[in-house]
Amino acid sequence: MNILITGAAGFLGSHLCDKLLSEGHTIIGMDNFITGSPDNLAHLSGTQNFTFIRHDVANFIFVPGKIDAVLHFASPASPNPASPFGFPNLPIQTMKAGALGTHNTLGVARAHDSRYILASTSEIYGNPLEHPQKESYWGNVDPIGLRSVYDEAKRFAEALTMAYHRYHGLNTGIVRIFNTYGPRMRLDDGRAVPNFLQQALQNKPLTVYGKGNQTRSFCYVNDLIDGIIKLLFSEEHLPVNLGNPHEISILNLAKLINKITENEMGVKFLDNMSIGKDPDRRQPDIHRANEIIQWEPKTTLDEGLLKTIPYFQTKMGFL
Ligand code: NAD
Ligand code: UDP
């Protein structure tokens, strides 16, 4: 298949490129590097089946040749206001990637009659009142809160994707991705795993926001990529949660990372730096993924962190 991947120079997009190329597909990667990096694709230069187009998906997209599938992954994704790469500092760009970028990529898919996959997010559930979150839950989102530029752009993107499916009969799919980590995460995007790993590897205390009893459920990147590819090759049109249901408090995540890295500096509690309402709990219900695409994650948090640490050590100049 000829596959267009937007956000190809990002964390998830670059792993999707690698995996789909290894399965024999031809990939056109598209990115404007607003939060991603050419480093994530450097190893693909000279690869016969890979081409790259530097382009902002908020603008009209033209790609030469036949496209069999479009995966729309372009969007800033970190909620951290302290990072220039977090969506609080890129509010308009975030809304444009989710709204205009989704419209333009749906247009490409319609022109080519392609399968289309939208990268949505657990953030569309907001600060959830239902736990764990099933796809049937409508969410609890503040439409004008500081996180809304991301949450509402993704909710709009889901609505537009379903409109193209219902009105134009486009073969669309929606993946609601829960917190994912692994090699090629941006070290400075302010998310919990990169912050904690860097602090631990420098023998510093880990910055836990608030009391650290908010929870998340962290999925290792390879597991997630396998699920996305299964969804791509399925016929499913309704949203599917993908994530690891193993729920952990942020304080316990910090303790686990300190244990694995043998960091004895403990944690430092900070006022919650998160903008808007930092969701209290988040855990995917993955029964639909299990039924529809026979998917479940295989990597435990300990294993996934051990696989991620060498990437951080290399980027930090320790290896
Ligand atoms: P990332 O920042 O590493 O990758 C996003 C990529 O999109 C970057 O390379 C960036 O430069 C590019 N991009 C952003 N706006 C663009 C635009 N207008 N035009 C072209 N390229 C643009 O983030 P990620 O973690 O890889 O996230 C990828 C997708 O998955 C996003 O849509 C995000 O919302 C979604 N997602 C990720 C997670 C996660 O835990 N990583 C969770 C839920 C959803
Ligand atoms: N967090 C933290 N310390 C950090 C970075 C993040 O305690 O240095 C917390 C953050 O407040 C949130 C959780 O970790 O409760 C996950 O944050 P992340 O930015 O990774 O993703 P989110 O799930 O909020 O999108």
Reply yes or no on domain 2-184+218-246+281-298 having CATH 3.40.50.720. Answer: yes
**Res 274: pLDDT:** 66
Pocket test of ligand 2: the residue of 35, 75, 216, 272 to mutate, having most ligand atoms within 8 Å of its CB, is: 216
**Res 234: pLDDT:** 98
Query: From the CA of 205, which ligand is nearest?
Result: 2
Is 154:160 a contact under the CB 8 Å cutoff? no
Q: How far apart are CA 192 and CA 254, in angstroms?
A: 9
Tell how many helices (H) and how many strands (E) occur in the chain.
9, 13
Q: How far is the CA of 231 from the centre of ligand 2 (A)?
A: 27
Q: Flag whether pLDDT at 272 surpasses 80.
A: no
In this structure, the number of other CB atoms found within 10 A of the CB of residue 115 comes to 22
Section 112-140 average pLDDT: 97
Q: How far apart are CA 76 and CA 94, in angstroms?
A: 6
Indicate whether residue 41 lines ligand 1 (CB < 6 A): no
Q: Is 167 a catalytic residue?
A: no
Give 32-83 pLDDT, tens digit per residue. 999 999 999 999 999 999 999 999 999 999 998 999 999 999 999 998 888 8
Domain coordinates in residue numbering, the chain: 2-184+218-246+281-298
- Average pLDDT value over all residues in the chain: 96
**Res 278: pLDDT:** 86
Helix (H, G, I), strand (E, B) or coil at 219: strand
**Res 319: pLDDT:** 84
Give 194-221 pLDDT, tens digit per residue. 999 999 999 999 999 999 999 999 999 9
Indicate whether residue 32 lines ligand 1 (CB < 6 A): yes
Q: Flag whether pLDDT at 180 surpasses 90.
A: yes
Is 57:4 a contact under the CB 8 Å cutoff? no
